[in-house]
Structure 1
Amino acid sequence: MSSRTYVVTGASSGMGAATAQRLRADGGRVITADIKDADVVADLATAEGRETFGREVERLADGVVDGVVAAAGLAIDAPVTAAVNYFGMVATAESLRPLLSRSEAPRAVVVSSIAATSPFDQELVDLLLTGAESRALERCRDVAGGSTRGGGNHIYSSSKHAIARWVRRQAPTPEWAGAGIALNAVGPGVIETAMTAPLLQDPGKRALLTSSSPAPLNGPAAPPEVPAALLSWLVSEENSYVTGQVIYIDGGGEAIRRPDHV
């Protein structure tokens, strides 16, 4: 049984809740964080919330964290989505990196999405990756509604694309791999959560989802326990060699979209 201490953001529902439950079942101590119903209540869309998050986790963890799962995220076509999905996730990882460095087997994973492979706004992605938060959020206001790319939530896809690239860039650095910290991303397909329920419960929308992205394994969606199993393994001691990866858990959707991408 595990004696490790984990931090899971977005832990009051969906993948975060399922991951926290699995880590506890494996014997881990889990510090949960969310905007409500969590050990640490903080809004990761704001600088104040990120500061509260880091301070409270350090206090509750007694200075050492073994694993971090950054699962907090939004899919609203508004600037707050980029604030949480990119800047909130980066702040989660970076603020806890000193606590991870004190662990004997430190691991961290962030949640990207199959949407990272969808059309995105290049200007927004560039602003996210340079850390220019105020300019990035202003760009989101231009992108909202898909006006710059002919429809679709490009704030969401841009934020998920950027966080995946951030992981790839950061994982091999002295601050992460050099400190012995494995850093990865998981890119789920459609997961059965409260956020996706209206889509999956509507027969017409579910049929459209199935026809537009036909996953060869087990249909167009999976329960949150499926990605939770992968997230839990990535932050476990068993993961002794995987870092810098974006692992898609999507029933085969990414392979359909990008068959020649290796």
Structure 2
Amino acid sequence: MTRTYVVTGAASGIGKATVEHLRAQGHTVFGVDIRDTDIIADLSTDDGRASLVEQANRLSGGRLDGVIAVAGLVAPKPITVRVNYFGAKATLESLQPLLTKSDAPRAAVVASMGALTEVDDDLLALLLADDEPGAVEAAERLGTTTLATGMSPIYATTKNAIARYVRIHAKDDQWSGAGIALNAIAPGVIETPMVAATLATEEGRAAMAEGAPAPLNGPAAPPTAPAALLAWLTSEENSFVTGQIIFIDGGAESILRPELV
């Protein structure tokens, strides 16, 4: 059975691969990005988020079977807070009414293995309190600060927060109560232009292997791998998986915290 999807971050990386995967299966997909796709919308702004809803509603005829929030940034800037958490959350929540018209509604969001690293507690609290102005101010204070891993605490904290959103809210009336499965994936290193230069050198691959060890086919996966996982999670077949953060990282999470089951 063909389905109708909205996929954000559709112009590149995992988002683009997901759009291509779903279309190859015969589904109708409306891509969302700031360029080169069906719906042009800037998810860092209120106007862009409202435009997403208007265009998605019009193009889909008011009914969606799947929503996949992929759009994200790694820059150590306040805009990363706006896109990675508030933009993703707005995508899920504002398109939820369109999902309720489906017989098998599903939603998914992309978190990151980076959510396992140290986070900024003040920023995390503001994100989970849904305080966008306060979170943006906190990100401005953090600036280009880096963690011991070299990762931006802004990026790590936003990805941790969106994963927590899924864990906290998947059980709610808005999601499970409406028959909507809500899950997240947490990719490790993915072969995208963002990491191409690092993967091109022996030193870069060694650094990645230390921070994100991937014994299964590492050090990086093609974007088609997370795309296929997102497609299954938002398929009609997935009738019982919800509230999960599924790591697609070549085994890194199991190495970094083996005590968790």
The verdict on a shared fold, with TM-score over 0.5 as the criterion, is yes
Query: Can you list the C-alpha shifts for 1:44-88, whole angstroms capped at 9, x where unaligned?
Result: 011111011111100101000000110001000111111100000
Q: Please state if 1:115 is matched with 2:114.
A: yes
Distance 2:62 2:182 in 1: 19
- Quick check: 2:166–2:182 contact (8 Å CA) kept in 1? yes
- The match for 2:93 is 94
- The match for 2:155 is 156
Mapping of 1:1-262 within 5 angstroms? Answer: 2-146=1-145, 152-262=151-261
Percent of pairs with identical residues = 53
Query: Can you list the C-alpha shifts for 1:183-214, whole angstroms capped at 9, x where unaligned?
Result: 00000001001112122123311111113332
Query: Can you list the C-alpha shifts for 1:226-262, whole angstroms capped at 9, x where unaligned?
Result: 1111000001001010000000000011111111122
How many corresponding residue pairs? 261
Distance 1:116 1:252 in 2: 15
Q: 1:147 to 1:257 in 2, by over 3 A?
A: closer
Q: 1:138 to 1:241 in 2, by over 3 A?
A: same
Q: 1:99 to 1:137 in 2, by over 3 A?
A: same
3-state secondary structure, aligned to 1:178 = helix
3-state secondary structure, aligned to 1:110 = strand
3-state secondary structure, aligned to 1:124 = helix
Distance 1:182 1:118 in 2: 27
- Quick check: 1:142–1:148 contact (8 Å CA) kept in 2? no
- Quick check: 1:114–1:188 contact (8 Å CA) kept in 2? yes
Distance 1:39 1:168 in 2: 30
Q: 1:3 to 1:84 in 2, by over 3 A?
A: same
3-state secondary structure, aligned to 1:195 = helix
Bigger shift: residues 154-163 or 2-11: 2-11
- Quick check: 1:145–1:151 contact (8 Å CA) kept in 2? no
Q: 1:35 to 1:259 in 2, by over 3 A?
A: same
User: Once superposed, what is the RMSD of the aligned Cα atoms?
Assistant: 1.3
Where does the alignment leave 5 or more consecutive residues of structure 1 unmatched?
Answer: none
Task: Give, in angstroms, the shift of residue 149 of structure 1.
Answer: 7.5
- One-letter amino acid of the structure 1 residue matched with residue 198 of structure 2: L
- One-letter amino acid of the structure 2 residue matched with residue 15 of structure 1: I
- One-letter amino acid of the structure 2 residue matched with residue 166 of structure 1: Y
- Quick check: 2:149–2:211 contact (8 Å CA) kept in 1? no
Distance 2:28 2:152 in 1: 36
3-state secondary structure, aligned to 1:86 = helix
- Quick check: 1:145–1:152 contact (8 Å CA) kept in 2? no
Bigger shift: residues 207-216 or 48-57: 207-216
Task: Give, in angstroms, the shift of residue 26 of structure 1.
Answer: 1.0
Distance 2:229 2:151 in 1: 28
Distance 1:102 1:152 in 2: 40
Task: Give, in angstroms, the shift of residue 148 of structure 1.
Answer: 8.3
- Quick check: 2:5–2:28 contact (8 Å CA) kept in 1? yes
3-state secondary structure, aligned to 2:156 = helix
Moved >3 Å (runs of 4+): 147-152
Task: Give, in angstroms, the shift of residue 150 of structure 1.
Answer: 9.1
Distance 2:122 2:179 in 1: 33
